Amino acid sequence: MRSFCIVVLLGMITSGGRPLRAAEVKFQSGPARTHLLELFTSEGCSSCPPAEKWLSELRGNSRLWKQFVPLAFHVDYWDRLGWTDRFANKVFTARQQAYSAAWRSGTVYTPAFVLDGREWQDRAVEKLTRNDETAGALNVEVRDGKATATYRPSSSVRDWHFT
């Protein structure tokens, strides 16, 4: 405890009594687009195990996390049929329903794949690993406890700046 107090005291002396500040931090993304692959699934769905197996087999792909990020969301709308999904969450159901509303499809189902916000049914791995699209540049700077994010799309002249 005594050594901790000495370190704090020395820090205050060397900083002139002002709180110590963290160093400036900068993050910058690369230009390649990383695909987001979402699977909406449920333990109460008899058709879901093959889709979940396919998704889990992507673990061996060398491009995992670099060119695509897979996620599985367990929905709760099958729970009412008697098999309660222990991983289900109403937030995941709401996410799938939001996609359905955006697509004007009026229905949700499992298993359902979504690739970069679009319904995806062909499960072609080459679409996940093809990065011929550029996403633009995202820069985040943290200084004095304030984060500033700037995004510059690759195919647009319009820049976005958030603070």
- Ranges of each domain in the chain: 35-129
Mean pLDDT of the chain: 80
109: pLDDT strictly greater than 90: yes
| SS3 annotation, the chain | CHHHHHHHHHHHHHCCCCCCCCCCEEEECCCECCEEEEEEECCCCCCHHHHHHHHHHHHHCCCECCCEEEEEEECCCCHHHCCCCCCCCHHHHHHHHHHHHHHCCCCCCCCEEEECCEEECCCCHHHHHCCCCECCEEEEEEECCEEEEEEECCCCCCCEEEC
Fold assignment, 35-129: Glutaredoxin (3.40.30)
pLDDT tens digits for range 53-100: 999 999 999 988 888 899 999 999 999 888 899 999 999 999 999 999
Which region among 65-69, 114-118, 129-133 has the lowest average model confidence (pLDDT)? Answer: 129-133
